[in-house]
Structure 1
């Protein structure tokens, strides 16, 4: 039997200030060149200043992606042209499969700690780009957890396995690219070791500092892991991260604003469909 091969950080990417919607201030990491395949973009919304986010995200279209929104503090109210209307709050998530097209809005809510959350874009395979759109809320009570030594893993989607073989399956089991998404929270001196052979494995540290393999990763940085079959996390002072794993589509990516397709011609068709009113069916 071969010994486990720890996965090491082979690239660090720092989030950059940006804004979207009606002037909402965010920290963004994106790669539409396939470097994070099947993931495309990760936005972190976090502020205790209402002016930074209360404009929200008025109605806008999407085609060709899935979005996953996860709230740490505050909340978001979602409405779309399919008739979905719901609010998620701290610890909840919402998943949207845009397929051939969906028009939606997201309006922020606050709690005593302001607003803090994430939105992740996942690319759909070419065969799914024009599929039927769908939407689902996931409440915090539906998310199973894995415990470690001074650590916990909150599982939103996919399958996650602790190094001793204990596994949990998240409630979101239809993420593009067989993706998994989890929230790792480590106390001071905490450790967590997971099995993962997924071709794409990413860790976005958003609080404190985490040791990922042999590297120290500060908040606001995305670590891409190299090959191996085990992920080791530790923290001297405590830290938190979103963990992302998946299988690349390996297909061409064509991106324009809220649309992600496989060719320029498909992007132009999406724009025509939106302008002539046939976009949302």
Structure 2
């Protein structure tokens, strides 16, 4: 397998988001706008009373991966839920969701990743759908060379297939690598791919680019694998996310992502007037958002 090179490195900077929350944003920032099919990646740090009160989405998916802590979720259909450490929520907003995401009562600083995945035009107005899996339900695979383990969230890794179904082919994997190890990760050369380093550091790719914590490394399309090496005494955990590009125009207005400006204008009107998927949005307020709303 030919190993891919790292073509861009972006250190995510802390910034305010939602209501009093702090995120480290890489994809979606001025340094790295859209990475088709990925729209946004936030590393989230939040504790009550901060959070993400009532806000809408249309035209894409939100993927919330809880690394530590607990978040509660509530939407305008009456659905309520909670994700705890290690759990995943894959939410297809489709034609419309109005929801709130807030730290659970009694938790300290809650830490996780939120990824926005674009939907192709054919699926943007589909009915909303949730895929939720607890940490215990998510499969794991052993790495070559006794290098560690990987949690398989989407796609497949080293013979283990994830439970999540995706609209377009993609992979989302969380690697926990021991110190002083080297191995290759297969990644289709046709996939847009990046790494986000959470803790420790390692070198990645053909030219051995060093990846530090809170850094996004974008991979070139010059190979079908990624070489990873850790130093003696230094462990590293990171996610690898990759997906097949959609190749359609991306027109974004805050939490709405469509393919034309006219569709965005229609989406804003639909939300304002409570129609075409936003019927339940009229006069709805979540209980967990303390009856506060984000105004878009």
**TM-score using structure 2 length:** 0.85
Please, which of 245, 250, 255 is the counterpart of residue 248 of structure 1?
245
Match of 1:43 in 2: 42
Match in the other structure for 1:144: 139
CA distance in 2, matches of 1:151, 1:54: 37
Give ranges in structure 2 of 5+ residues lacking alignment.
Answer: 280-296
Taking the aligned partners of 1:180 and 1:70, their CA distance within structure 2 comes to 14
Aligned-pair RMSD on alpha carbons?
Answer: 1.9
- Where do residues 80-119 of structure 1 align in structure 2 (5 Å cutoff)? 80-109=75-104, 114-119=109-114
Count matched residues.
268
Secondary structure of the structure 2 residue equivalent to 1:105: strand
Shift of 1:111: 7.6
- 8 Å CA contact 2:21–2:45 kept in 1: the answer is no
Between the aligned partners of 1:177 and 1:15, the Cα distance in structure 2 is 26
Q: Which residue of 1 aligns with 2:70?
A: 75
**1:183 matched residue in structure 2:** 174
The answer to whether the 8 A contact 1:73-1:111 is kept is: no
Match of 1:169 in 2: 161
Q: Could you tell me which residue of structure 2 aligns to residue 124 of structure 1?
A: 119
The offset of 1:27, in angstroms, is: 0.4
Alignment of 1:207 with 2:199, yes or no, is yes
The alpha carbon displacement at 1:128 in A equals 0.7
Deviates more, 1:185-194 or 1:140-149: 185-194
Could you say which residue in structure 1 is the equivalent of 2:255?
258
* TM norm structure 1: 0.89
Change (3 A) 1:34 1:159: farther
Query: What SS does structure 2 have at the residue aligned with 1:266?
Result: helix
Question: How many angstroms does 1:34 deviate by?
Answer: 7.0
Check if 1:55 corresponds to 2:47: no
1:221 to 209, 215, 230: 215
Distance 2:196 2:105 in 1: 23
* Corresponding residue SS for 2:246: coil
Unaligned runs of 5+ in 1: none
CA change 1:260–1:194 in 2 (3 A) is same
